[in-house]
């Protein structure tokens, strides 16, 4: 699978959603100058009932998200006080009803109950718009209740193949899709929690030796995902059981061994690496002498794998991982990549 780079756009600076009227018949909560808790909760329920938000609000959320996210560093830091916690989730891949199950099990996002979602919000599952709009709306309502890092599927090339483009154009339009691409380019690449835990989507299979957290923070991320380099490795690399670096079966970046994990963490004063990017039957896997955890939060991936989903809660007092596993939730009868197959059938 190739990771193809692309050009960045600034459609958020050009689009004027204020000329769009919201019809009196629209039965959702109206969006004012700020995103209120009432708006977010109404949107969550609309999506649950297979309704959309108005296209004006879709554009407004994405423009607001672009303005917020582009001011974040490529690597940002979170401090969790001793009496607080944070929950880290892996890939959700458009499985909106499983996202709701996470919130049922762990509570809705709030300043007192913050979440970090570690990329791959979209593609494959046919409710990708619902997933990413929900996460962005929480982030805009309160930036301290929702943190987001980019995955390899927050990418124009993969979105064209695995369903998100077709879904977005069908549910909204091409301008909304272009706004999403800009938002994806602004998503940070990594997060450090309490100076101990590094969270990023893929891994640390860096070709260059001696990469530091400062190097990651300095990445010019505001573009589609390149074919090589630090940004590509962060989003595409995978761990392996053998020491050293090796070729990645994905055809992009590399695989890295337990020795690579240990050296990177020790050199950067860290204790643990959290990554996602790979389906795990238990929803998570601990390896590299307990220094690396893969977390995956899309149960019964693609309606066929039969895996559990999982998430991790860290208490600020000790920053030890506490796992919750869960099974998939029922969802409306739209299979994986439904909109791609629908488009294909229309063209045949």
Give the pLDDT mean for 277-293.
98
7 vs 122 pLDDT, higher one:
122
Please give the positions annotated as active site: 153
Residue 81 belongs to a domain? yes
Domain residues for the domain of 169 are 36-347
Residue 8 belongs to a domain? no
Query: Residue 9's pLDDT is what?
Result: 47
Give the pLDDT mean for 222-248.
97
Query: Residue 10's pLDDT is what?
Result: 86
Contact 217, 75 (CB under 8 A): yes
Q: Which residue has the tokens 């693609």?
A: 302
Give the pLDDT mean for 270-290.
98
Q: What percent of the chain has pLDDT over 90?
A: 94
Q: What is the CATH number of the domain that holds 190?
A: 3.60.21.10
pLDDT confidence bin for 127, thresholds 50/70/90:
very high
Side-chain-side CA neighbours of residue 272 (13 Å): 19
Query: Residue 93's pLDDT is what?
Result: 98
Per the structure, the count of domains in the chain is 1
Statement: residue 345 has pLDDT above 50? no
Question: What's the angle, vertex CA 283, arms to CA 147 and CA 194, rounded to 5?
Answer: 35
* Contact residues for 49 (Cβ-Cβ < 8 A; gap 6+): none
Give the pLDDT mean for 33-48.
97
Query: Residue 11's pLDDT is what?
Result: 92
4 vs 33 pLDDT, higher one:
33
Question: Which of 5-14, 160-169, 194-203, 303-312 is predicted with the least confidence, judged by mean pLDDT?
Answer: 5-14
Statement: residue 273 has pLDDT above 70? yes
Residue 12 belongs to a domain? no
Query: Residue 249's pLDDT is what?
Result: 96
Closest listed residue to residue 290, CA positions, set 265, 255, 324: 265
Residue 327 belongs to a domain? yes
For 123, the token pair is 């593609």
Contact 63, 8 (CB under 8 A): no
SS3 content of the chain, % helix, strand, coil (to 5): 35, 20, 45
Query: Residue 8's pLDDT is what?
Result: 45
The predicted model scores a pTM of: 0.95
The CB density around residue 284, as the number of other CB atoms within 10 Å, is 23
Side-chain-side CA neighbours of residue 311 (13 Å): 27
Closest listed residue to residue 321, CA positions, set 144, 189, 196, 167: 196
Statement: residue 7 has pLDDT above 60? no
Residue 157 belongs to a domain? yes
Residue 3 belongs to a domain? no
CA distance 34 to 57: 11
Statement: residue 2 has pLDDT above 90? no
Give the pLDDT mean for 195-217.
97
Statement: residue 318 has pLDDT above 70? yes
The mean pLDDT of the chain is: 95
Residue 14 belongs to a domain? no
pLDDT confidence bin for 4, thresholds 50/70/90:
very low
Query: Residue 344's pLDDT is what?
Result: 45
In which element (H, E) is residue 87 found? strand 85-89
| Dihedral, 15, 19, 24, 30 alpha carbons, nearest 10 | 50
> What are the angstrom distances between the C-alpha of 157 and each of 130, 216, 226?
20, 23, 11
Residue 20 belongs to a domain? no
Side-chain-side CA neighbours of residue 103 (13 Å): 20
């Amino acid at each position: 699978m190739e990771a193809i780079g692309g050009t960045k756009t600034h459609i958020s600076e050009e689009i004027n959603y204020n000329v769009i009227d919201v019809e009196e018949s629209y039965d959702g909560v109206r969006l004012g100058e700020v995103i209120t808790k009432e708006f977010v909760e109404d949107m969550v329920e609309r999506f649950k009932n297979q309704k959309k938000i108005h296209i004006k609000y879709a554009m407004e959320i994405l423009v607001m998200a672009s303005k917020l996210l582009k001011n974040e560093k490529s690597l940002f830091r979170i401090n969790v006080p001793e009496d607080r916690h944070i929950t880290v989730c892996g890939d959700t891949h458009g499985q909106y009803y499983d996202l709701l199950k996470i919130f049922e099990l762990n509570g809705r996002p709030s300043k007192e109950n913050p979440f970090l979602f570690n990329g791959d919000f979209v593609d494959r599952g046919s409710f990708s718009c619902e997933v990413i709009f929900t996460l962005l709306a929480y982030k805009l309502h309160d930036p301290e209740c929702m943190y987001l890092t980019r995955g390899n599927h927050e990418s124009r090339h993969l979105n064209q193949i695995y369903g998100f483009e077709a879904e977005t154009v069908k549910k909204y339009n091409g301008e909304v899709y272009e706004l999403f691409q800009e938002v994806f380019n602004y998503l940070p690449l990594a997060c450090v929690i309490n100076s101990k835990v590094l969270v990023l989507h893929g891994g640390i299979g860096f070709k260059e030796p001696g990469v530091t957290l400062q190097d990651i923070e300095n990445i010019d991320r505001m573009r589609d995902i390149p074919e090589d380099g630090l940004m590509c490795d962060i989003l595409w690399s995978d761990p392996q059981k053998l020491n050293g670096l090796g070729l990645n079966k994905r055809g992009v970046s590399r695989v890295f061994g337990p020795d690579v994990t240990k050296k990177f963490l020790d050199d950067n004063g860290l204790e643990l690496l959290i990554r996602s990017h790979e389906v795990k039957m238990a929803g998570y896997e601990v390896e590299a002498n307990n220094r690396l955890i893969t977390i995956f939060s899309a149960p019964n991936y693609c309606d066929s794998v039969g895996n559990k989903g999982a998430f991790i809660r860290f208490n600020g007092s000790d920053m030890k991982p506490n796992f919750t596993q869960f099974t998939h939730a029922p969802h409306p009868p739209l299979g994986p990549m439904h909109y791609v197959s629908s488009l294909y059938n229309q063209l045949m």
